[in-house]
Chains A and B, each alone.
Chain A
Amino acid sequence: MSLVALLFFGLMLLGLPIGYVLGVAGVAGLLQVGGHNFLAMAPKRFFEGLDLFTFLAMPFFIMAGEIMNRTGITTRIVGFADALVGHWRGGLAHTNMVASVIFAGMTGAAVSDTAAFGNTLVPAMVRQGYSRPFSCAVTVAGSIIGPTIPPSNLMIIYGSLMGVSIAGMFAAGILPGLLICLVCMLYIAAVGRRKGLPVSGERFSLRRLLKSLRESFLALLMPAIILGGILLGVVTPTEAAAVAVFYAFFLGVFVFRSLSVQAVYQTLVRTSLITGVVFLIIASASILSWWMTFLQIPQSLAKLFLSISRNPQVVIALILSLLLVIGMFMDINAALIILAPVLGPLTQAIGMDPVHAGVMIVLALNISLMTPPVGACLFVICSITGERLEAIARELWPFILLEVGALFLVAFWPSFTLFMPRLLLGR
């Protein structure tokens, strides 16, 4: 056990890509418990780790997002959000949040949100007189909404691995996502005057709102199609993802006419590349997780947690702290695959609803995407805008604290999270 743990943490800290680290540690684990005879299991686990039909939703949602980004749909969504809330003090910061909520209905990964708005909204905010670090912080804080409101890659992974209803988790993610948006907007409103956030000077006009609605209507239909289809039980998440691809493609080629053959090719390559990076992590992690299961590590860890306390609130607080800390250092897909078998049974032992537990775990990992030192969204925003991580971190910590507060509210108030699945799916 110690050798595998040493390899895992050592290689990860030295900077070997996490997808390789998991594989090397996993193979070392196989060698340790079964010698050379067990090595043949590695490629088999590697393959079987990916052989799940529900995973198909991931490349499709990635592809739909990629197409949307290339067709200029993002700009239209921002225009609509701006017509809605742009006239407030700190208007563009609010716009950023509202646009994140709409964008969240089409994308499954936080970093695609960061990339889309880091490229468009941050420069616009800076032009209007916001400080660059604050603009970056707002964008990163809003990115967390993307994978919380469905679709969400992490929910697809968790649901597939743990046999929890993906549609149920999708429905349950809606209110927590809106809550995150709300607390961030309240903070922006609260500090607006003190920080001297700019006012655009434009007054709210119904005509402008309707105009932007008309321009973005077809784009706004996308989340409605995805969510409506899944939540009304018409299509499975995978099918909804495929429909989203066709719809985005249709918009890009026939309506907006902004999608060239070259762009389609680039989209296909980019999609398989992003999928490949995530799937390597999943495949390698399933070698390591076999070793963990063989040694009953999940059970011992769960026992350890329960030996500290049997009080559900305390256990939940421990779980959330563990996730937030681990997510600071580790790729969240890898963290989810390794920890899900530990945390799933543990949350059941303290009587949590599986859908509620899944959403809580996913939300905690999402928030860790924006915590220094290695939050993925932070890196994306730094590399896009060229802003220093330390400067962004100074503006970001109030958002982090507020979102962690929202996370605890979600964790301790199951009826809030489960309201939507009960309403829509009659769970």
Chain B
Amino acid sequence: MERLLRRVEAFGAALNRGIECLCALLMAALVLVIGFEVLQRYLLHLGLTWGEELSRYLMIWAALLAVPVGAYRREHVGLRFVQNALPARAGRVLRFALDLVGFAFFVFLAVYGVGMAAAGATQYATIFGMTMVVPFASVPACGALTALQILVTLLRDRGEDAAGWKAA
């Protein structure tokens, strides 16, 4: 059991590092695209319009992929006073239960998000001409990865108060 838990923790940490790396790449791409957009609009006058659409989708992907990072680091914070007022044991049970609620929500988002992304195959982005599957897929990806990381943190913290938990 102990070994399994350690494996889960190691898996969560590795997954988180991977996602963080992806987030950083998307953010860097976003900065470059908008930087190029400003440059071409004011100096080069190329009249290109795809920058706006591309940057919107990059932003959504970068932000939604950061949601599981936030879950892993417990940066999505809620009110604390009821938890703090409860006896230690009840507080643990409550935090455990809340993790389960969060898990359920993101599983829902993943399942229904797949449906939306699949339906996006017949839609195309207005200017870019790209299939909408690519941007829509950010929602189920966010749902699945966040659900996974909530599960990891649930096993890692087991109801312990871990707000502001930071990756070592």
Contact = CB atoms under 8 A, between A and B. Distances in A.
Interface residues of A, number: 53
11 contacts: A11-B101, A13-B79, A15-B83, A16-B78, A40-B112, A43-B115, A43-B136, A56-B30, A239-B41, A271-B27, A277-B67
A354 interface: no
B60 to A, nearest CB: 5
Given A20-B76, A242-B34, A277-B76, A40 B62 contact: no
Given A51-B60, A60-B34, A276 B70 contact: yes
A268 B78 contact: no
Contacts of A257: none
Q: Which of A18, A238, A243, A280 has the most CB of B within 10 A?
A: A280
A335 interface: no
A15 B69 contact: no
Given A59-B63, A269-B23, A277-B70, 9 more contacts: A18-B78, A42-B108, A47-B135, A47-B139, A50-B64, A268-B28, A276-B70, A283-B64, A383-B164
Interface in B101-141: 101-102, 105, 108-109, 112-113, 115-116, 135-136, 138-140
B66 A53 contact: no
A329 B31 CA distance: 35
Nearest to A330: B79
A50 B140 CA distance: 15
B79 A329 contact: yes
B102 A242 contact: no
A13 to B, nearest CB: 6
The 9 tightest CB contacts between A and B, nearest first, are: A276-B66, A17-B76, A268-B24, A279-B63, A272-B23, A15-B78, A272-B66, A242-B34, A43-B113
Given A14-B82, A265-B24, A50 B63 contact: yes
Contacts of A238: 34
B42 to A, nearest CB: 8
Q: Which of A16, A56, A276, A374 has the most CB of B within 10 A?
A: A276
A239 B140 contact: no
B146 to A, nearest CB: 9
A280 B139 CA distance: 11
B158 interface: no
Interface of A: 11-21, 23-24, 27, 39-40, 42-44, 46-47, 50-53, 55-56, 59-60, 63, 235, 238-239, 242-243, 245-246, 265, 268-269, 271-273, 275-277, 279-280, 283, 329, 373-374, 383
Determine chain A's interface SS by DSSP, over half rule. Answer: helix
B27 A59 contact: yes
A238 B113 CA distance: 29
B159 to A, nearest CB: 12
A23 B63 contact: no
Given A268-B28, A272-B26, A17 B116 contact: no
Contacts of A243: 38
A24 B101 CA distance: 8
Given A53-B56, A56-B59, A276-B63, A374 B23 contact: no
